[in-house]
Chains A and B, each alone.
Chain A
């Protein structure tokens, strides 16, 4: 794993996140949420600082990070694409939409494009089943997406 040099100011902010939760090991998940908000992802160095601050082992932190799909150790693309794979979206053709994104962007699920522009992920039900299949890019929600729409959607981010 490539090592990341964290800026000192961010480390201070991270420590403040830990302090906000009284540096308690039992608050690990809240702290990780805060850290991911701060850095966009959870590189090893961040996890080591958290382990140190909360007085838990770094293996434990890593064990937790890898358990929950919300936490990521890879930086996300500038436009994170999520395909809803909830049942409603699935039966209405989400898989074809996903395949099309994979094909056009030439990435697998969980990866980021070489230029850092897009990252592709799946999620389980955003709760907009009425609009199935649903794709979200950043904050934007696209409903009733078909494989044919994919090119057009991506062109909005040219």
Chain B
């Protein structure tokens, strides 16, 4: 191994060549402050433009201060991380950044979670010596994401997330100098752009320049409205992260406490999106089997691989970028929308209520879900199947508002019938989970044999693109998994080029899947948090008495009483959807 020796703050340190000063310092317990820098190991996310200059250090022999995040260690370097010169420079730069930032901490959505705020605290900034004009940009309120670019500090993390990780390409730095900011093309509003609302920009934004559209107050209004029956559904990944918002260790499962809190908040029915996830498996699994059987019988028309469709960010992505392939993904609605459709039909009937009297609220790790429930095809006579979608973070705020001591709540169970779920549905919350759940059921339906070993470890992990072949009793089924839209794009390009060998592919827009969703408690760059959430998800699955979707007794009952069988006319009406070509078109003057 090629190593270099250097000294940082009089401490000798030996590191591998290529190590940055920041990493070298960290290895000997010196935490040089950083602001724009963010690196998510395993997720292909690395943002170090060297732009904020907060991490500057003094390197002997160099004329200027060097950014620790970008400067590689070299032999014999003598580095000082906290000389007067460095501290003065760091504080002055920080004051400059703050001088171009609205001082609205008291009412800011990000207060307490803001990297800029905590850095100002860390550096002990108590006064701004340099004041002047502040940047002003027009606000942008999409259904899911709010852009308040007056608060942008040009760390460029969102650009990295949107372009390098997700390859969505909606954001770019525009203009230059003091006028420069990150924005969509022509500074158009996000809802006019090809934004997928995956929310990864929000997840990495250090300030409140990018936040979710807050619907908490609308939820409160619905709950207190005596005319409305308010139903809440919670996505699988929420329970694996909500605890973090209350100071619990990442990876703490809080399913029971979450249910208890929701009941205390006054929801009439606390249900589980997991129920709908089981339903998704029934429909999607049947669709996979249908296409697969037709394919095996020599039907040349049938399109393979089949792609999962439960992720709304992913759906919008292919509608914009691969419109020529909109007939490949499964037509099954996402669990959120299946839940809404069933709640406002089947469950409304049971309650003997009109669908308009029901308000369906979803709690999601996701921001794209806010957009998904506004899509017109998910409405009946203007009444959306899911009325409101709030993020994990918003739920945490609701719980705080209600003065609940979350950690001390006694666990409670979901209500019936839409609260019952299997282990298969829980793992929807992580990358690889949907396809594993689908295989658990599809295997049994296809082979008509019992699946003994339900854990498909070969499908699990954090690698961006994973491949595995599952033995369907002698028939090898090739499975692909991609999380992060950049990885999805690679698989799609292969399919487009006819190079894909897969029968089925699971795609999740967010790195890590829903556990890394844009609506989750902020990870602040610590990728270990995502791994712990993933572990929690698998633990919940392992602890469930039933681990295959088709064995969920309430699902079986639903089909028996209401839907008939998977892919029936009723199922098609309620549980399947269609996609749109959203590629932008230029008007031509002939």
Contact = CB atoms under 8 A, between A and B. Distances in A.
A and B touching (Cβ–Cβ under 8 A): yes
B297 interface: no
A57 B186 contact: no
Nearest to A61: B185
Of the listed residues B586, B588, B590, the one surrounded by the most CB atoms of chain A closer than 10 A to its CB is: B586
Interface in B527-546: none
Interface in A35-71: 44-45, 47-49, 51, 56-63, 66-67
B184 interface: yes
Given A59-B170, A62-B185, A67 B175 contact: yes
A57 B172 contact: yes
B44 interface: no
A63 B184 CA distance: 9
B285 to A, nearest CB: 36
Nearest to B177: A67
B contact patch SS: loop
B587 A45 contact: yes
A5 interface: yes
A44 B173 contact: no
Interface residues of B, number: 21
Nearest to B171: A59
B381 interface: no
Nearest to A64: B172
B174 interface: yes
Contact of A57 (B170, B175, B183): B170
Nearest to B585: A48
A45 B587 CA distance: 8
A60 B176 CA distance: 14
Interface stretch (A6-14, A95-103, A105-113, A134-142): A6-14
Query: Which of B183, B185, B588, B590 has the largest number of chain A CB atoms within 10 A?
Result: B185
A8, A48, A66 pick with most chain B CB within 10 angstroms: A66
A113 to B, nearest CB: 24
Contacts of B175: 66-67
Given A59-B171, A63-B173, A45 B586 contact: yes
A6 B184 contact: no
A8 B587 CA distance: 9
Interface in B217-239: none
Contacts of A5: 587-589
Contacts of A47: 185-186
Contacts of B588: 5-8, 11
A62 B183 CA distance: 9
B121 interface: no
Contacts of A49: 586
B589 A63 contact: no
A63 B586 contact: no
A51 to B, nearest CB: 8
Nearest to A46: B586
Interface in A59-86: 59-63, 66-67
A1 B186 contact: yes
A59 B586 contact: no
B589 A59 contact: no
Nearest to A3: B587
A62 B587 contact: no
Interface string B168-194: 111111111000000111100000010
Q: From B170, B173, B193, name the one whose CB has the most chain A CB atoms within 10 angstroms.
A: B173
Contacts of A61: 185
A59 B587 contact: no
Nearest to B590: A8
Contacts of A8: 588-590
Contacts of B584: 48, 58
A45 B584 CA distance: 10
Interface string B556-590: 00000000000000000000000000001011111
A44 B176 contact: no
Contacts of A56: 169
A59 B185 contact: yes
A11 B173 contact: no
Q: Which of A6, A45, A58 has most chain B Cβ within 10 Å? A: A58
A24 to B, nearest CB: 17
Interface in B139-169: 163, 168-169
Nearest to A44: B186
A59 B176 contact: no
B586 A6 contact: yes
Nearest to A63: B172
A66 B169 CA distance: 16
Nearest to B193: A59
Contacts of A62: 172, 174, 185-186
Contact of A63 (B168, B174, B193, B590): B174
A47 B176 CA distance: 18
A63 B169 CA distance: 11
Contacts of A45: 586-587
A155 to B, nearest CB: 36
A5 B589 CA distance: 5
Nearest to B583: A52
The 7 lowest CB-CB distance pairs between A and B, nearest first, are A57-B169, A63-B172, A59-B172, A5-B589, A62-B185, A58-B185, A59-B185
Given A11-B588, A56-B169, 5 more contacts: A6-B589, A44-B186, A59-B184, A61-B185, A67-B176
Interface of B: 163, 168-176, 183-186, 193, 584, 586-590
29 contacts: A5-B588, A5-B589, A7-B588, A8-B589, A44-B186, A45-B587, A47-B185, A48-B185, A48-B586, A49-B586, A56-B169, A57-B163, A57-B169, A57-B170, A58-B169, A59-B169, A59-B172, A59-B183, A59-B184, A59-B185, A61-B185, A62-B174, A62-B185, A63-B172, A63-B173, A66-B174, A66-B175, A66-B176, A67-B173
